[in-house]
Structure 1
Amino acid sequence: MLEDFLTDGLSLEEENARLRAIVAALMDRSERATQSPNRPIGQLSHVVALESQIRSRTRDLAETLDRLRIANARLSQAEREAVRARNALTDALEAMSEGFAMFDGQDRLTMWNSRFCADLPDVRRRIGPGLSFRDYVRIVSESRALTLPEQLTRQDWVAQRLESHRRRDVNFMVPLVEDQWLQVSEQRMSSGGTAVTQTDVTNMVRNAREERTKLLDEQAQMVRATLDHIDQGVMIFDAKARLAGWNRRLRELFSPPVDLLATGTPFAALLNNLMRRRQLGRSNIRATLTDWVNGPPYRPPLTLEIVQDEGAVLELSAQAMPDRGFVISVNDLTKERRAIAEMHRLNETLEARVRARTVELESARDEAERANASKSRFVASASHDLLQPLNAAKLFLASLSAMEQTPAQARLTERIVSAFGSVEQILGALLDISKFDIGAARAKPETLALAPMLERLREEFLPVARARGLDLRVHVTSAHVTSDPIYLKRILQNLLSNAIRYTEQGRVVLGVRPRGQSLRIEVWDTGPGIPEDRQADIFEEFTRLDPARGDSGMGLGLAIVEQACALLHHPLALRSVVGRGTVFSVTVPRASAPATDTAAPPLHDAPRGALEDLLVLVVENDAEVRNAMMGLLEDWGASPIEATTLQEAEAQLAELGVPPDVILADYQLDAGATGLEVVAGLRAQHGPIPAVLITANHSPDLIQQTEDNGILLMTKPLALRRLRRLLQQVPLYSSKPEAAEASPASRGDHSYWLRHAQHED
């Protein structure tokens, strides 16, 4: 209580005066107490103790006063230093050649120098403390010193300016009257405020313009104009990674300083600036870009996705150039990604309808597939039923052609053979189409020489071309390719047949062009050509450009060609000029020539009478076909024997006492038996007899079984020339068994003569 009484609410001088008054009163009282005999001596000691406390308090107060005086002196010194620092900052800002202003975290103007907006006098007069950034931008947009492109209104400029203010770091150019230019830079500070710098770059812009005018010719200006009108930001660097070109879009995306967008700026300097201003997102892609730039000359393209702080999504692509320079392009994917997100959102609302529609479409698709499969099976079944009598008729016609005939009979026989040939082609095409439709077609690529195939095609089509008055030229090559020999020959046969059929005069050329690791087999003709709007139609089934032609076929050839090329993965191309001709080309992978089999006898060593006394076992349950085959073999000079079952064949051979030289067996026999079983049974007794299985069944499983058992498969109707060549090889193989021993058998190996004869066609 005493301390509160002494010091409460008093200044130091008043407190000292009060203490002196108290001391004086106490001294006076002590003296009177000493003189008065009525006062006890104890009061004196109390007064003495009180005086000691007062003196101690007085000393404390004196020390407190000293500390206060020191603190006041230091505060005054700090205020003087703060004033000096502010004055120094003001002097430094005034010494800057650029205009400078600072806005606080609430976007209020707090500090600026005299150069700020000096080039905008009407704006300079309206600037004051506390001015909001939005009002500052509005005032600038209203300035008479500001010039904008015709397509940009002042309201649009304000909107763009406020949009760029949201970014952490931005640089842009402001055009002024009288061809003056300001570069404005904004930098977001850690306190949340913004530092704005205005730099007069008029001389730099004018110099760059003059330099560009002097150095760029008309072509370079066209390139620059093209770059400035594309929607991607582009930077072009030379072999030393120095900036050689850029476009306007790049400045819009990254807003780099003007001094960096100059010819010769190192890539590292641009990258450092973009990374420092976080224009390439928060992920550190510096190492990735640097490693790519410093990589080998033929480095693969680089693609990176960048997500900026403001949410913009950019795609950066880097592409090397032959001179070791490179191009970096930046594409703004923000709108696209937002559109995709919006589409996803809309798709979610459509899922129910999509699912319902999908069920309907799947039902319709299944129905169409069932109908298509039914159609394909019907075509295959009908063709199979027709092939059996057609094969018999063909065999009888072959025997008939070998007989002596009058000229009239010979002409009639020739016309019948031609008619049956047309039927055979149509049925073969229908079978091919049905195999593709039901997925039964299987390719078996192997290494093969093109020369024998091209030579056989020349021999096959030369008479047809001469009959039409055309010149057929086949350029033979020694190259080897990897392909299926059967399907490849079928492709070329259809292309040659079409070329000859539709060419009225001139020539047809079959040749091969090398294309890197591939070969391009081309068929040229001088026909009427194919209009561009019909070139896609010709590959459809049963489509003919000129149906009025009597020899234009059924329109299946090119449909088979397209599906066979797709099966073999051989690209098919078409070039045509109306009135000048057409070129079809098939690209086939090139292969290395296989090692030569020196132990194999040459294919054409067989003499013309090689079938004489050749013992041929014919296993066929159809009497007409069997009789026709027996007659044909006899006409060729062979010695045929016939059987319908395995038991009959065994009885015939037991009676003769010698095995047959070759077996010709039909696949489908009576009582569910097959030709495969007959061949297996006879081989079990007489050793590996060469065998040919004749069938109208084109199933992949049957083809696989014949390959696994070393049996050659021939389909109906029989190719009689091929069958005769096959039989001519039997004596050569039988007389030189060492040929078979020198070439060990493997899966699918039909022995020497079968293997080579198979490639013959």
Structure 2
Amino acid sequence: MSLIDPADTLERQNDKLVKIAEALMRRVEHQIAEEGAAYAQFERAALLEQRVRERTRELERTLDLLHQSNAQLAQATNEAEAARRNLADAIGTLSEGFALFDPDERMVMCNARFCRDFRDAALDLSPGLAFTEYVRQISRSRALALPPGTDPETWAQERLQRHRDRHVMFNVELTGNRWLQVSEHRTANGGTVVVQTDVTDIVQIERQERARLKDSQARMIRATLDHLNQGVAIFDDGGRLVGWNRKVGALLSVSARYLRIGAGFDTLLGRLSTDFRFSSAATRADFARWAAERGRAGPIRFEVRRGSGQILDVFGQGIPDGGFVVSVTDVTQEREAAERLADLNEALESRVMERTLDLEDALATAERANASKNRFVAAASHDLLQPLSAAKLFISALSDRLETLRDRETLAKAESALTSAEGLIEALLDISKLESDRLSFDIRPIALEELLAPLRDEMEVLADRKGLGLTIVPSSLWVESDPTYLRRVVQNLISNAVRYTQTGRVLVGARRAAGCARIEVWDTGPGIAEADQSAIFEEFRRLDSRASRNDGLGLGLAIVERACARLGHPVGLHSEVGRGSCFMVSVPVAGADASPRVVRGRPVRPAGLSESGLIVLLVENDAELRRALTQLVESWGVSVIEAADAVGAIGLLEDLELVPDAALLDQQLGDGASGTELYRQIRNRWGVVPTAIITADRSESVRRDCANLGLLRLLKPIDGAALGEFLKEAAAPPV
């Protein structure tokens, strides 16, 4: 059956064919839209399945780690129980009373000799006994000889006061003229070890010795020594002990039976426990040799660490009668505080380094993938633009041959579609360039008016077509940026404002704010909801679903964000739904009143340089920049010797036979030479010279090389203030 009646006129047949074609086109477009939605659902399902698999694998790895941890915990528990049994057996063989309290002041264990003399009161010496209860029971024992005027409660309070110290050693008098020495030491986990030793014989001997010291001077010295916070021991010209205080025995843990008149220095040194570790400043042999010389070689000072806890500062010095005196000070708290700070700093640095390495690995992977994508997009965009350009040329040639208006309109639509495709490819090419590591910018001073004036002429045509008012306020500001990319940024912002504003006006201007020029583009468009203000910077994202391809491709703001991120220009957005939007870009101001980033005129003369007599080596292959830097530095009263390359610099230093006080080296010296390599040559031949590397390369590799060599990196355009500070530091005398 024929769809066309042959009897109809040609015009009638043509109208029927047009309507049939339009119906078929609508059907095809509707079918494509449904297929696209189904494909999107399929993609989301595939992505969800992949994420579920990833989470499952992570959970399995976590369970494996948990099983390993449980096995290790069981093994550690068995080892701890065995160690506890061994410890109990060991302390049971001790001749002294021994008890261990945990960090919560509860008894963990004790041996049978502990508190043997106080059994009348200390009846319950079992694990879990509180330290305060242990002291209270001892204070009420009949075996304890309380000092005159002291009741049990007072004695218990004084005993608990002593317990607050990390290391305690004192004597307790018992009835029957007997004495018990009690020593306490803190464990690494904050617990307490209590040792009780019968020192009755020692105390009686000491009393006999003290009875012989009858003259007033000896008693005064003894009183003075006992009131010192340091441990002090005095030896005569024969190396024999003639005076000491209790503190020295407590700090060195030397039993009172060995601290007696006439005890030899070597004997006492040999009584020090083997867990005393001498610092690198002096060994046991060094200390013994110094004592044998009776301090004639001068004073000696070093630190001793006992086990993993107590740290003692030991100082020895000769005295006029030929003997010597040794003082011991507990500096544990000071050293522990310093070590905690150092450990904290090291831990933080380690964590930062670990996170940095992880991020660097992830970043390297992402950058490789991104670089591959960018290379593909750039290559594909370049290849696609050529046939599109050819197609547009063919269409232009064909337009002159068409006679009917309908054919020319159809051809114009085809040309418009090709133009849209060309714009899309160019935008993709811009994004790939902005994401490429090889992109370099031409940062230099720009007059804003030179950038805004051409945009005013270009955008007024677009605004007039839509009946909008466009105002671009003239500006006299100069900024520092790449002129090409900054123009593209502002152009995209203005074209977006014109495209999405239906009625009203668009206003463009620049404000000065904190050393920056804030370029603002205001419009009276529909505005952007706060929830959508981040999404609009994504590629191919348009909030107006009714917009056609001719209304934009959704790449303009993506280009703006990437270009500003690479240039270091912050982007801002203020918008209210129904009232309009304002996009803002902050660009550093160029000029004498802004933060100096390039050498202009004569920055303020750094104080003190003119009298320093400083000689600076300048190596720069750009003749104009070399001349400008030389004039600037010499205006500060500093002598400059200059060279254009590394070979010339080395030859110049050899001819002059001098070493400069400082060096300014350009990183790119031509012929593959670099400023860092030239610095290594200078350091190897003439030693370390304060050096600054001048470079426009902001890459991580150059920053890392300068940091490893301890060099200052001065980025172009050069900051005159930073240059002056560097020369002032170079001129400062060494500390």
Q: Same fold (TM over 0.5)?
A: no
TM-score (norm 2): 0.33
Q: What TM-score do you get using the length of structure 1 for normalisation?
A: 0.32
Q: Which has the higher contact order (CA 8 A, sep 6+)?
A: 1
Larger Cα-atom Rg = 1
